[in-house]
């Protein structure tokens, strides 16, 4: 990602003392090039080749590139998630991470699950090919930059298995496919903790519809990228819609949208 980044000034967010997230000062951050700029640079064929080469390099150099767990969560959100796994160790039901990318968070979190609730499975759901076009396009019309389309696509289930194996986490279960289309047995009967991290508004909403009825009493769903303000990712739109439709109060913690079941 860094290799295609340009520097721009955008507003960023910071946590206030009530654990909510508010807009603060502008800061310089990396932004991906737009698809148009990429195509101009290399053409569609050139882009496909570059993409494939990126994937092969990631796979071959995995022991070096991924010697540390490649987690994508902001550190404060990782802390909230790990804390939840400890808090909910006594709640029955498996743990799901929907949208796991390279399984960096899964590597860390599954160690806690194995140690403190060994009866639970840690299940990761992902396309392992990045976003689905129609789901992505729906968010472009809400203002998400087109250049993010391929963010997670240089990936595969085989690469993620390799990374998990490098970290001795072979017991993490991988389920490949569009998570909005999940059905039993891939969809478990009960979950105690769900990390929902697919970034986009429609799949976030539809996946909440699938998982909320299966959330055990006392369980929790954490929806990543629920940053109040003008974030790139539109997961918050799906989270807000789900809360409104189910008469649930919105609850924000360090950029997570939180749903609990009493």
Ligand X SMILES: C[S@@+](CC[C@H](N)C(=O)[O-])C[C@H]1O[C@@H](n2cnc3c(N)ncnc32)[C@H](O)[C@@H]1O
Structure tokens at 108: 């860390």
User: Looking at beta carbons only, is 74 or 92 nearer to ligand X?
Assistant: 74
Which position among 62, 73, 163, 220 is part of the footprint of ligand X (CB under 6 A)? 73
Least separation in angstroms between residue 218's CB and ligand X is 23
Under the binding rule (CB under 6 A), the answer on residue 236 touching ligand X is: no
Q: What stretches of the chain adopt beta strand conformation (E)?
A: 5-15, 21-32, 94-98, 122-126, 173-176, 191-196, 215-223, 252-253, 256-260
User: Looking at beta carbons only, is 16 or 171 nearer to ligand X?
Assistant: 171
Residue 254's nearest CA partner among 74, 94, 89 is 74
User: Looking at beta carbons only, is 125 or 239 nearer to ligand X?
Assistant: 125
Least separation in angstroms between residue 217's CB and ligand X is 25
Least separation in angstroms between residue 174's CB and ligand X is 11
Buried residues in 199-226 as b, exposed as e (16+ CB within 10 A): bbbbbbbbbbebbbebbbeebbbbbbbb
User: Looking at beta carbons only, is 18 or 133 nearer to ligand X?
Assistant: 133
Helical (H) or strand (E) element with 46: helix 35-60
Please answer whether residues 259 and 208 qualify as being in contact, where contact means their C-beta atoms are separated by less than 8 angstroms: yes
Dist CA 227 CA 223 (whole Å) = 10
Which position among 82, 132, 138, 174 is part of the footprint of ligand X (CB under 6 A)? 132
Which position among 203, 219, 255, 257 is part of the footprint of ligand X (CB under 6 A)? 203
Please answer whether residues 157 and 128 qualify as being in contact, where contact means their C-beta atoms are separated by less than 8 angstroms: yes
Residue 152's nearest CA partner among 125, 124, 131 is 131
Which position among 19, 114, 180, 260 is part of the footprint of ligand X (CB under 6 A)? 180
Under the binding rule (CB under 6 A), the answer on residue 202 touching ligand X is: no
**Per-residue contact track with ligand X, 83 to 112, x per CB under 6 A?**
--------------x-xxx--xx-------
Least separation in angstroms between residue 247's CB and ligand X is 26
Under the binding rule (CB under 6 A), the answer on residue 178 touching ligand X is: yes
Size of the site for ligand X (CB under 6 A): 25
Where in 213-232 is the site for ligand X (CB under 6 A)?
none
Under the binding rule (CB under 6 A), the answer on residue 198 touching ligand X is: yes
Residue 215's nearest CA partner among 198, 228, 196 is 196
The phi and psi torsions of 185 (rounded to 5 degrees) equal: -85, -5
Structure tokens at 43: 């053409």
Under the binding rule (CB under 6 A), the answer on residue 71 touching ligand X is: yes
The residues that touch ligand X, with contacts defined as CB under 6 A, are 71-73, 97, 99-101, 104-105, 125-127, 130-132, 135, 152, 178-180, 197-200, 203
């Amino acid at each position: 990602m860094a290799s295609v980044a340009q520097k721009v000034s955008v507003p960023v967010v910071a946590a206030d003392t009530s654990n909510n997230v508010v807009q603060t000062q502008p800061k310089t951050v990396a932004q991906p090039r737009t698809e148009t700029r990429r195509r101009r640079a290399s053409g569609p064929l050139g882009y496909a080749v570059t993409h494939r080469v990126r994937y092969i390099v990631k796979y071959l150099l995995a022991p070096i590139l991924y010697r540390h767990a490649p987690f994508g969560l902001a550190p404060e959100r990782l802390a909230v998630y790990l804390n939840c796994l400890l808090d909910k160790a006594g709640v029955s039901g498996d743990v799901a991470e929907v949208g796991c990318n390279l399984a960096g968070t899964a590597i860390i979190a599954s160690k806690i699950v194995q140690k403190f609730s060994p009866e639970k499975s840690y299940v990761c759901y992902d396309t392992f090919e990045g976003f689905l076009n129609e789901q992505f396009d729906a968010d472009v019309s809400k203002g998400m930059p087109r250049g993010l389309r391929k963010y997670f696509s240089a990936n595969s289930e085989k690469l993620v298995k390799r990374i998990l194996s490098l970290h001795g986490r072979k017991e993490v279960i991988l389920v490949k496919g569009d998570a909005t289309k999940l059905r039993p047995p891939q969809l478990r009967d009960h979950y105690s903790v769900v990390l929902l991290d697919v970034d986009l508004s429609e799949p976030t909403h539809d996946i909440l519809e699938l998982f909320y009825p299966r959330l055990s009493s006392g369980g929790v769903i954490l929806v990543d990228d629920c940053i109040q303000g003008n974030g790139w990712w539109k997961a918050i739109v799906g989270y807000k819609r789900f809360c409104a439709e189910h008469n649930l109060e919105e609850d924000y913690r360090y950029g997570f949208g939180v749903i609990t079941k009493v």
